[in-house]
Structure 1
Amino acid sequence: MTDTPLLSRIQRRLHPATAPLLLGAVGIAGAIMVHFIDPHEPGHYPTCPWLMMTGTFCPGCGSMRAINALTNLDLTGALRMNVLTIALLPVMAYSYAKWVYYSFRPPTEHVRAAHPFWLWLFLGVILAFWVVRNLPFASVLAPG
C-alpha cells in the first residue's frame, strides 16, 4: 500500500477532460432546470442573500431570469434582467471551449495566462456594474 491519498489516485486515473465535461453537463442541466422551473414565479428559488440583507442588487441579480429568457429565445428580456451576464456569455463560452480543447489536446508549448491588466479590468467592470446598477439614474440596469 502506498502513501498516496485516495483523491490523488483517483485524479490520476481520470481523463483530463473529465472536469470540463462535467462542468458543461452541470451547466446544461442548470439551464434546462431554469427553463422549465420559471424563476419569475416566487417560491421556486431562494432569494439572493445579498439582496435580502442589503436591499441592493449584486452583479448576479437577475442572472437566472436572464438565462430563462435566453432559453426562451428572448434576448431583449435577457438583457433587461442582467446585461452583464449576457455580455459575458461569449467570453465564458470561448474560455470553456479553450479549456475543453486543451484537455483533449494538451499544448506542446507553454500557454500564457491572461495578463494581470485584463483580470483587474474584469474585476473593475464587475464592481462598477455592481455600484452603478444600484444608483437612481441607472435603474435601467436593475433586474426586471
Structure 2
Amino acid sequence: MSSVLTRRLLYWSLGLSSLAIGLVYYRFNPAQEAFFPVCVFRKVTGLHCPGCGAQRALHALLHGRFGEAFHNNALLMLALPYALLGFVLDLRNYLRGHGELPAAYRRQEVILAIFALICLFWILRNVPGLPFEWLAPVE
C-alpha cells in the first residue's frame, strides 16, 4: 500500500473513530454507566493514575462543563490543546506535501519533559491534603 493511501486511511480512521468515541462520551456518562472500563491501577493500588478521571473529564468537556472537566483530569485538559495543535499541524503538513511535524513536537527534550510532567502529575495527585487533593478526580 502506498504511503499516501496509508496516511489517508489513517486520517479517515482517526477522524471517524474520534467522532464515534465523542458521540459515546457525549451520550453516556462514565460515572453512571457500567460498560466503561475501570482503571486497573486504581483498583489494584487504590491510587490514581495519570488517566484517572479522563473519561468523566471528556464527558464534562463535551457538555461544556470546563471546570468539572479540569477537576476530573487537569493534565488531560492542559494536554488537549497541545495534542490537537499537533494533529492540525501534521494534517496541514500532509496536505502541503511536507512529511514531518514541527521540531517542537519531535525534539527529545520535549518528549522527556512531557514524560516528566506526567510522572509529576501522577505523584502529586496521590499526595494527601491540600493543594494536591485538588488534582485527584471527583469520586
TM-score, with structure 2 as normaliser: 0.87
1:110–1:38: structure 2 CA closer, same or farther, 3 Å change rule? closer
Deviations 1:94-116 (A, max 9, x none): 01111211222222899646221
CA-to-partner distance for each residue in 1:74-133, whole Å, 9 max, x for gaps?
001101100000000110110111121122222289964622111111000000000100
Aligned amino acid, residue 116 of structure 1: Q
Residue pair 1:17, 1:104 contacting (<8 A) in 2 also:
no
Say whether 1:79 aligns with 2:70.
yes
Q: Give the CA deviation at 1:18.
A: 2.2
Structure 1 residue 115 corresponds to structure 2 residue 101 = no
Q: Any residues of structure 2 matched to 1:22-61 within 5 Å, and which?
A: 22-61=13-52
| SS of residue matched to 1:38 | coil
**1:16–1:104 contact (8 Å) kept in structure 2:** no
Match of 2:82 in 1: 91
Which residue identity lines up with residue 119 of structure 1 in the other structure? I
| Residue identity matched to 2:136 | A
The letter of the residue matching 1:83 is: A
1:135 maps onto 2:120 in alignment? no
Q: Name the larger-Rg structure.
A: 1
**CA separation in 2, counterparts of 1:70 and 1:110?**
27
> What is the aligned residue count?
135
* Structure 1 vs Structure 2 CA RMSD: 2.2
Look up the match of 1:70: 61
Q: Is the 8 A contact 2:126 2:133 kept in 1?
A: yes
Q: Identity percentage over the alignment?
A: 25
The answer for unaligned runs of 5 or more in structure 2 is none
Alpha-carbon separation, structure 2, partners of 1:49 and 1:96: 29
